[in-house]
């Protein structure tokens, strides 16, 4: 494990070791270079982002750096002392001086995510104890102190795996010398290698803040956004702020009611006035006293008068003034701390919209404090007894209840000072979830009808968590009757009622379930599921089975185990339904054997932070997605927000699967644009949905029928058409181009599904038309060049090499009612794809209901 750097102060020597980081550094440099090259290629200015800070070490309080040694690119150690040394490959950009310094800038970054680092402090003095006072227990426990033993100095050693925690990592050292405690904090920025820290993360934060306010904040993580400076004091009342956000509307509504009708109470007032100013009806005893004083010549005497008048200076109003004042002060202090921290480049993690929202919360409170009636209210001294006004009166009771919920968090979290974020892997996963939500709403025409924001829950550390599963799903509907559910981490178990995993519980990150309304020929609603798993990883090692054409050094691929996981998800999930397609209600394993089993997952895909120009390049997994329904989509926020769309591949895939809203197509009705049957057919006709078990067939319509006219007699053997008349025909052929000219470009899948041929012959009842009175079962279909089809099979031989479908026919079925008025002249007009049941219910060819309309294959 080579040494990365060594820093010496008068009290200790600080060293960092790690394995070779050259590969990490190269990936990071490639990521930065790709961003720059794509911007130049498109000739557009990217969205302005905060200027990334230079790699640096930060010290709080300021440290006196006596000596520094940092490796160069060739892993040679370069020594820097108080004198100025010129070295081209030195990673330190500042001239080291014996003066105290708060920052040591570097030319190149040294600290990356998912890397194991070893840290060591070797102390020069008689240190009796030393420890790392990090807020995370796992980080603090990773360090071990060894006291001085003979000539061996005292030292503190530990290892940290940065994992998926990016941002500023602080190592808060505390050590004791001669009974006096000293502290020295060293901070460095952990950089991601797969995303642009100062472009992608702020974009993720903005999207998440808009839907899940405060979810991304964590109480304790390895990294945070607070510089450990003893001069800077602040607090981050995480759960108080979260609860205030949830209760704010109730709080403000209660204050509005109070301001409109403040509580007042008759309170006694004592005054001493002269007899000449006495008014109104006077008590008998006071009247007698005045008469006696007048008789004694005392005309200037003052008399004590007690009156009662309405006053708003009540204990209840004093409580309201105190509660509003304290909430306003806490919010103001919190905002000021965040704004001050956010000004430093290394701590720019908070979106401006979040800070603006904090400020807006204070304005209603300030307006209440400016109300005139509160100016007459004194200081709150507590309640001597229970107040029925606070418990029952409208407005007061609401504010009182909210305050009781907030008070606990004020007392517990009032002195927190750092702001931690959840790991970037969690952030990326939730951002991918919300990216799919945006695609459904903005691009596919869905309208949100159920919001899962209310389902946010708290864990044991008072942090927000998403309500996983379909209980916390977003629900959408579209004006063509299509509905959708987008769920985060639903769990499929052995006891699932509708979808079950028989052996091991499955928990994919994102599940998109689309439900189509009932169609004319279906009594149930069709449901389709696509699974997505957010993988904050990129393939780095090439295995021996990879193709030589796969260049992982230049093209971002998802790791192999992520693809394997997609296969597992699709294979493991089974839908249980009754023969009439009703969801089974029994959880009993044996009872499930009496229900129909089907595979509900139409595709499983990994979402990963691969970087591509999706407007110019092709998804490396496009072929696999089309062939087997398994693959991956690159997804990055900095591209999504720019002119070169970073979710175009995913968007195009979803548009192909479930289409756009019909209302977005001007001049076209819902029925004409996206009939439900057409959507079902478009999904079932895909290559991935048509893969059966070996030796079996996969089909949508069990009685799919192709109507077509018999060819003319001219040039053919006379017995050819006679065999169709007497029911003895065994062969029929159609040019492949004729099949393709059917609306929707019918392909091999649908041709293999055709079970019957409805062949029209000249009508005796209606001249110049043809009619269908026989339906021929198909035994087998082959695609052959025309010259390979014999005279017996076609009625005439040909030397052409164009391709024809040759159908081998069984014994015909006779329709009870012939279908008349089949066009005579144009062969293509006689061709329709329908079903036998539909054909049996009509008597005119124009009334035949077609299937597989507008299906592109």
* Residue from 366, 352, 398, 404 nearest 243 by CA: 404
**Distance in angstroms (rounded) separating the CA atoms of residues 435 and 315:** 51
Report which of residues 186 and 695 the model is more confident about. 186
At how many degrees (to 10) do helices 238-260 and 396-413 cross?
Answer: 160
Buried b or exposed e, range 608-638, using 16+ CB within 10 angstroms: bbbbbbbeeeebbbeebbeebbbbbbbbbbb
3-state secondary structure of 356: helix
Identify the weakest region by mean pLDDT among 385-394, 474-483, 633-642: 633-642
Contacts of 123 (CB under 8 A, 6+ apart): 11, 12, 130, 148, 153, 154, 155, 156, 175
d(CA 288, CA 302): 14
Q: 254 and 303, same structural domain?
A: no
Residues 703 and 731 in one domain: yes
Give the chain's length. Answer: 857
What was the pLDDT predicted at 49?
45
Q: What is the pLDDT of residues 165-180, one digit of tens each?
A: 888 888 989 899 888 9
> Do 672 and 644 lie in a common domain?
yes
Helices (H), 268-342: 284-295, 315-342
pLDDT at 91 over 50: no
CB atoms within 10 A of CB 249: 10
Fill in the DSSP letter of residue 844: B
Sheet holding 483-488, edge to edge: 447-450, 469-477, 483-488, 510-515, 527-534, 601-608, 630-634
Q: With respect to residue 11, please indicate whether it lies within any of the assigned structural domains.
A: yes
Q: What is the mean pLDDT of residues 29-58?
A: 64
What pLDDT sits at residue 554?
A: 74
How are beta strands 100-105 and 77-80 bridged, if at all? unpaired
Task: Please state, in angstroms and rounded to a whole number, the distance separating the CA atoms of residues 283 and 267.
Answer: 19
Kindly tell me if the per-residue pLDDT of 159 is higher than 90.
Answer: yes
Q: How much is the pLDDT for 830? A: 87
Count Cβ atoms within 10 A of the Cβ of residue 650 and give its class: 0-12 exposed, 13-18 middle, 19 or more buried.
buried
Q: Is residue 230 part of a domain?
A: no
Alpha helices (H) in 344-489, listed in sequence order: 352-369, 372-375, 388-392, 396-413, 424-438
Identify any residues that bridge with 64 across adjacent strands, giving them in sequence order: 100
- Looking at residue 778, its pLDDT comes to 92
Task: Please state, in angstroms and rounded to a whole number, the distance separating the CA atoms of residues 159 and 157.
Answer: 7
Q: Any long-range contacts for 448-455 (C-beta under 8 Å, 24+ apart)? A: 448/474, 448/475, 448/476, 449/475, 449/476, 449/477, 450/474, 450/475, 452/488, 453/211, 453/212
Tokens of 53: 């800070």
Q: How far is residue 342 CA from its own chain's centroid?
A: 25
Backbone angles phi, psi at 823, to 5 degrees: -55, 140
Same domain, 28 and 153: yes
> In this structure, are 451 and 583 located in the same domain?
yes
Interatomic CA distance for residues 411 and 335, integer angstroms: 19
Q: Looking at 716-755, which runs of residues are DSSP E strands?
A: 731-735
What are the tokens at 537?
A: 């990883």
Local confidence band at 564 (pLDDT 50, 70, 90 cut-offs): very high
Number of domains observed in the structure of the chain: 5
What does the pLDDT look like over 609-665, one tens digit per residue?
988 888 888 999 999 998 899 999 999 875 544 444 678 899 999 988 888 765 544
Secondary structure (3-state) at 396: helix
Domain annotation covers residue 337: yes
What does each C-alpha distance from 315 to 150, 370, 515 come to in angstroms?
69, 19, 58
Mean pLDDT of 150-162: 92
Say if 208 falls within a structural domain.
no
Q: Which residue has the higher pLDDT, 604 or 824?
A: 604
Asked if residue 380 and residue 276 are part of one domain, the reply reads: no
Cα 775 off chain centre by: 53
Greater confidence (512 vs 518) lies with 512
Same structural domain for residues 672 and 532?
Answer: yes
Domain of residue 271 covers 265-311
Cβ atoms within 10 Å, residue 590: 7
d(CA 108, CA 4): 12
Which residues have CB under 8 Å from 197's CB, separation 6+? 52, 166, 191
Give whichever of 74-78, 317-321, 438-442, 514-518 has the largest mean pLDDT.
Answer: 438-442
Number of H helices, E strands in the chain: 22, 36
Which of 421, 449, 468 terminates a domain? The answer is: 421
Nearest to 458 by CA among 413, 501, 396: 413
Residues 6+ apart with CB under 8 A from 314: 263, 264, 265, 377, 389
Reported confidence tier of residue 303, pLDDT bands at 50, 70, 90: confident
Pair (558, 572) in one structural domain: yes
Round to whole Å and give the CA distance between 98 and 517: 76
Please report, for the domain that includes residue 793, its CATH number: 3.10.590
pLDDT digits (tens, 9 = 90+) for 812-842: 999 888 888 888 778 888 888 889 988 988 8
Q: Is residue 119 within a helix (H) or strand (E), and if so which, with residue range?
A: strand 116-123
- Say if residue 72 is preceded by a cis peptide, omega within 30 of 0: no
Instruction: Over range 513-530, report the average pLDDT.
Output: 78
Q: Which of 375-389, 412-426, 793-807 ranks highest by mean pLDDT?
A: 793-807
| Phi, psi (deg, nearest 5) at residue 515 | -120, 125
Widest distance between CA atoms in the chain: 153
Tens of pLDDT, residues 100-153: 888 888 888 899 998 999 999 999 988 999 988 886 777 888 899 999 998 899
Range with top average pLDDT, 404-418, 596-610, 708-722, 735-749: 596-610
> For a pLDDT cut of 90, what percent of the chain falls above it?
17
Rounded distance between C-alpha atoms, residue 613 and residue 334, angstroms: 41
Q: End of a domain among 361, 394, 421?
A: 421
Asked if the model's pLDDT at residue 194 lies above 90, the reply is no
pLDDT band at 84 (very low <50, low <70, confident <90, very high): very low
* pLDDT of 701 higher than 50: yes
- Average pLDDT, rounded, for the chain: 78
Q: Where are the alpha helices (DSSP H) in 536-613?
A: 560-572
Kindly state whether residues 647 and 698 are assigned to the same domain. Answer: no
Output Rg (C-alpha) for the chain, integer angstroms: 39
Strands 527-534 and 601-608: parallel
Q: 856: pLDDT confidence band, cut at 50, 70 and 90?
A: low
Rounded to the nearest 10 degrees, the angle between the axes of helix 648-658 and helix 676-684 is: 120
Lowest mean pLDDT among 544-553, 604-613, 788-797: 544-553
Q: Does 111 share its domain with 171?
A: yes
Which residues make Cβ contacts (< 8 Å) with residue 763, sequence separation at least 6? 769, 770, 771, 820, 821, 822
Torsion of CA 437, 441, 447, 448, to 10 degrees: 30
Of 397, 604, 429, give the one whose Cα is nearest residue 534.
429
The answer to the question of residue 219 being in a domain is no
My answer on whether 321 and 276 are in the same domain is no
> Is the model's pLDDT at 352 over the cut of 70?
no
Give phi and psi for 345, each to the nearest 5: -60, -35
Query: 856 lies in a domain?
Result: no
Instruction: Give yes or no: residues 270 and 333 share one domain.
Output: no
The answer to whether residue 175 is domain-embedded is yes
Residue 828 is given by DSSP the state G
CA–CA distance from 795 to each of 562, 710, 738, 801 (Å)? 56, 11, 19, 17
Higher per-residue confidence, 389 vs 110: 110
Query: Is 541 a domain residue?
Result: yes
């Amino acid at each position: 494990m080579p040494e990365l750097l060594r820093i010496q102060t008068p009290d200790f020597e600080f060293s960092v070791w790690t394995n070779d980081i050259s590969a990490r550094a190269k990936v990071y440099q490639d990521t930065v270079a790709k961003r720059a090259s794509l911007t130049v290629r498109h000739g557009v200015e990217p969205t302005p982002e905060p200027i990334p800070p230079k790699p640096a070490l930060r010290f709080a309080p300021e440290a006196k750096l006596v000596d520094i040694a940092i490796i160069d690119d060739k892993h040679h150690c370069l020594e820097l002392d108080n004198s100025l040394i010129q070295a081209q490959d030195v990673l330190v950009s500042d001239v080291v001086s014996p003066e105290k310094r708060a920052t040591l800038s570097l030319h190149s970054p040294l600290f990356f995510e998912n890397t194991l680092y070893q840290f060591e402090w070797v102390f020069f003095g008689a240190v009796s104890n030393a420890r790392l006072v990090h807020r995370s227990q796992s980080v603090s426990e990773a360090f071990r102190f060894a006291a001085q033993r003979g000539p061996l100095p005292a030292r503190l050693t530990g290892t940290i795996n940065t994992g998926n925690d990016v941002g500023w990592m602080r190592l808060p050292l505390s050590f004791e010398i001669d009974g006096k405690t000293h502290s020295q904090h060293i901070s460095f920025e952990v950089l991601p290698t797969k995303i642009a820290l100062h472009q992608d993360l702020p974009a993720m934060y903005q999207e998440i803040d808009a839907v899940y306010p405060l979810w991304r904040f964590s109480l304790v993580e390895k990294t945070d956004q607070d510089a450990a400076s003893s001069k800077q004091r602040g607090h981050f009342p995480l759960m108080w702020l979260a609860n205030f956000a949830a209760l704010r509307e109730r709080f403000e509504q209660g204050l509005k009611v109070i301001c409109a009708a403040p509580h007042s109470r008759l309170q006694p007032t004592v005054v001493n006035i002269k007899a000449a100013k006495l008014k109104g009806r006077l008590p008998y005893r006071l009247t007698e006293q005045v008469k006696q004083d007048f008789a004694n010549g005392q005309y200037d005497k003052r008399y004590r008068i007690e009156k009662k008048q309405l006053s708003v200076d009540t204990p209840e109003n004093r409580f309201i003034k105190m509660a509003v004042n304290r909430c306003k002060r806490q919010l103001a202090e919190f905002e000021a701390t965040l704004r001050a921290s956010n000004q430093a480049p290394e701590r720019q993690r908070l979106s401006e919209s979040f800070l603006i929202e904090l400020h807006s919360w204070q304005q209603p409170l300030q307006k209440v404090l400016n109300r005139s009636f509160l100016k007459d209210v004194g200081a709150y001294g507590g309640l001597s007894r229970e107040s029925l006004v606070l418990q029952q009166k409208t407005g007061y009771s609401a504010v009182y209840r909210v305050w009781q919920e907030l008070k606990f968090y004020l007392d517990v979290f009032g002195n927190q000072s750092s702001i931690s974020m959840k790991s970037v892997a969690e952030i990326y996963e939730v951002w991918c979830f919300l990216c799919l939500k945006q695609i459904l709403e903005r691009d596919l025409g869905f309208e949100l009808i159920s919001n899962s924001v209310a389902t946010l829950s708290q864990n044991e550390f008072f942090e927000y968590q998403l309500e996983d599963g379909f209980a916390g799903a977003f629900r959408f509907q579209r004006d063509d009757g299509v509905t959708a559910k987008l769920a985060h981490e639903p769990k499929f178990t052995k006891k699932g009622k509708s979808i079950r995993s028989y052996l091991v519980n499955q928990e994919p990150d994102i599940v998109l379930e689309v439900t189509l309304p009932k169609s004319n020929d279906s009594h149930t609603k069709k449901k389709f599921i696509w699974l997505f798993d957010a993988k904050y990883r990129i393939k780095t090692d090439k295995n021996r089975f990879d193709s030589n054409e796969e260049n992982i050094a230049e093209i971002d691929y998802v790791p192999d185990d992520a693809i394997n996981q997609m296969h597992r998800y699709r294979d493991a999930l089974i839908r249980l339904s009754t023969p009439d397609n009703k969801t089974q209600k029994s959880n009993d394993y044996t009872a499930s054997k009496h229900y129909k089993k089907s595979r509900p997952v139409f595709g499983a895909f990994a979402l990963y932070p691969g970087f591509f120009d999706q407007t110019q390049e092709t998804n490396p997994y496009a072929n696999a997605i089309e062939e087997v329904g398994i693959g991956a989509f690159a997804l990055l926020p900095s591209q999504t927000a720019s002119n070169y769309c970073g979710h175009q591949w995913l968007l195009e895939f979803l548009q192909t699967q479930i289409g756009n809203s019909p209302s977005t197509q001007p001049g076209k009705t819902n029925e004409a644009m996206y009939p439900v049957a057409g959507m079902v057919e478009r999904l079932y006709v895909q290559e991935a949905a048509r893969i059966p078990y070996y030796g079996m067939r996969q089909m949508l319509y069990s009685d799919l029928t192709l109507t077509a006219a018999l060819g003319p007699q001219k040039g053919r053997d006379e017995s050819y058409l006679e065999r169709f008349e007497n029911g003895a025909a065994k062969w029929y052929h159609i040019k492949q181009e004729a099949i393709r000219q059917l609306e929707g470009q019918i392909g091999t899948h649908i041709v293999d599904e055709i079970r019957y041929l409805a062949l029209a012959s000249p009508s005796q009842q209606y001249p110049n038309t043809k009619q269908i009175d026989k339906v021929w079962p198909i035994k087998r279909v082959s695609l052959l060049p025309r010259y390979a089809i014999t005279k017996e099979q076609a009625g005439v031989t040909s030397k052409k090499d164009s391709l024809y479908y040759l159908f081998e026919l069984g014994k015909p079925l006779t329709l009870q009612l012939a279908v008349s008025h089949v066009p005579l002249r144009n062969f293509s007009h006689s061709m329709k794809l329908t079903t036998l049941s539909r054909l049996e219910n009509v008597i005119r060819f124009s009334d035949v209901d077609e299937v597989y309309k507008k299906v592109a294959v």
